[in-house]
A and B are shown apart, each in its own frame.
Chain A
Amino acid sequence: MNASAWQMLLEGAWTTVWISGISIALGVVAGLIIALIRIAKIPVVDQILVLYTSLARATPLVTLTLFIFLSAPTFGINLDRNVAGILALTLNTTAFNAEIWRSAFRNFSRDQREAAMAAGMTPWITFRRIMLPQMVITSLPGLINEMSFLIKGSPAIAVIGIVDLTRVTNRISAVTYEPLPPILVACVLYMAVIGCLVWLQRIAERQANRLAV
């Protein structure tokens, strides 16, 4: 492997990281919104969201990515590869994040909510000032765990031709005829990224436990 191979690998790692990063950011926010809509229990919308969650959890990322990328043009939408990849990853992770947020909401202490009501806070202010800050801390370990799952699933976007960290190893071995070194380097890079997340998760867990006491 020469310098240009290393540069390609780092570029691939960067592609993986920025696409996953955008999907994570979108997925966490969209998950919260969906969780709130599901808690409101609006009749038809609720059933649709249950169906969405069930489908999104069962659909493989590769299948979802291909589906979005190939079927968008038949609806007259021209999707960029990167947008299709981000969309697939986001749709997948949102379903999981919504469940994490929803369980944080359901397990929220009733006493605090009643105290807020007694102090004359409106539901929105209770949510903004009392619930959300604590829900962020309690659901953070789960959310970070889901983030590492998303990065582990991100090679799925290679199927529509995005050159991510997994795909780039093919490009390098097509030139050098030595597939093993780039794959091993990619392994190390993935371990570094996911290891960081695991480490963050441990810190978040400690914070969440401190809050629980």
Chain B
Amino acid sequence: MSNWEILWSARDQFWVGFLRTMEIFGLSISVAFVIGCALLYLLEGSRPRLTVPLRVFIDGMRMLPFLILAYLLYYGLPSFGIRLDAWWAGVGALAVYHGCYIGEIFRGSRITFPPGQVEAAKAHGFTKGKMFFRLILPQIVMQTRPLLGNQLIYALKDTAFLVIITVRELTAAANSLSGTYFIPTEAFIVVIGFYWAVSVVMEVIIKQCGRFSAKRGFDNA
């Protein structure tokens, strides 16, 4: 049997690993997006006392490697009596870490947001929440989509770190297969192909969003 045939017979393992990676990625990036939106809302200005600690928190996260945060959740939290399994620690770390990055991306875009729109909305009697969800958030998300796309790719790449805290995902599948059959080259080429395919698909989706937002006039703001 050639090496590729061995891999084909083990295709289930790849598929399971791929699905787990996508599960982790999908769940954590959704939560990260919500965290990013929440950070943007909290930085909106009505609570000036919150602003400084939030910015320190965001900047602190951005100065840490992802893996050390996963270590903190996986190895560090049990000291406080909170025991997460590797999967939840990984998802939590990814969500918080990338949530902070997304929050920072949104904040950067919020600075250049035209103040006239906010004033017009206030003059029309929009409440703060309504103004945020109807006016500010949609425009900022559409404006920052290239950066968000980059962040998605970084998040996908960071899921591979979780193999170090023993999460069974795509890289772990390749690692165990290459250990069992001693065919590391082929196994890892397949896995790199998977990652590549996902990031190419994400780039296409981001481009399509660009077309949608040009049609809806988000780009002329």
Using a CB–CB cutoff of 8 Å, the interface residues on chain A facing chain B are: 54-55, 57-64, 66-67, 70-71, 74-75, 151-156, 158-159, 166, 169-170, 173, 178-180, 183-184, 186-187, 190-191, 194-195, 198
Contacts and interface: CB of A to CB of B under 8 A. Distances in A.
Contacts of B64: 152, 187, 190-191, 194
Contact of A190 (B68, B170, B174, B175): B68
B195 A63 contact: yes
Contacts of A57: 153, 199
Contacts of A158: 67, 164
A194 B161 CA distance: 19
Contacts of B170: 63
B76 interface: yes
Interface of B: 60, 63-68, 71-72, 75-76, 78-79, 153, 156-161, 163-164, 170-171, 174-175, 178, 183-185, 188-189, 191-192, 195-196, 198-200
Contact of A155 (B63, B164, B178, B198): B164
Contact of A173 (B60, B75, B153, B195): B75
B195 A59 contact: yes
A98 B160 CA distance: 24
B184 A155 contact: no
A155 B195 contact: no
A179 B75 contact: yes
State the main secondary structure of chain A at its contact with B: helix
A191 B60 contact: yes
Given A179-B79, A187-B72, A195-B63, A60 B188 contact: no
A166 B192 CA distance: 24
Contact of A151 (B65, B171, B185): B65
Nearest to B157: A60
Contacts of B60: 191
Contact of B65 (A59, A63, A67, A155): A155
B93 to A, nearest CB: 12
A55 B157 CA distance: 12
B192 A55 contact: yes
12 contacts: A54-B200, A55-B196, A60-B160, A60-B171, A62-B164, A70-B178, A70-B184, A152-B64, A152-B66, A183-B76, A186-B71, A187-B72
A183 B68 contact: yes
A152 B65 contact: yes
